[in-house]
Amino acid sequence: MQWSVVAGRKQRRLDLFFPGVVVEADGYASHAGVDAFEDDRERNNALTVNNLRVLHWTWYALHDHPDELIAQLYVALNLRR
């Protein structure tokens, strides 16, 4: 389920939100190019200064290494404690 937040100067949709942790599912088609690159940096910085950890997961990683990603999420959530 996507969440909507204001981060920086824009309303943002977050792919997955857990307490203190955001998971973004990044597809190359949506995140390639100069404008997307700039927007992604602005988004990450705005989320970080709002005390959120941001994990970026690709389709390849989700498909081929889901256990590794879940382990990363577990660590990120435990760092929040």
Q: What is the pTM of this model?
A: 0.83
Burial class (CB in 10 A: 0-12, 13-18, 19+), 15: middle
Total number of domains constituting the chain = 1
- Give the structural domain span for 16: 3-79
Do the beta carbons of residue 20 and residue 27 sit within 8 Å? no
Q: How far is CA 56 from the centre of its chain?
A: 5
Strands (E), 1-81: 3-7, 10-14, 16-18, 21-26, 53-58
Mind listing the pLDDT tens digit for each residue in 32-67?
889 888 888 888 898 998 889 999 999 899 999 999
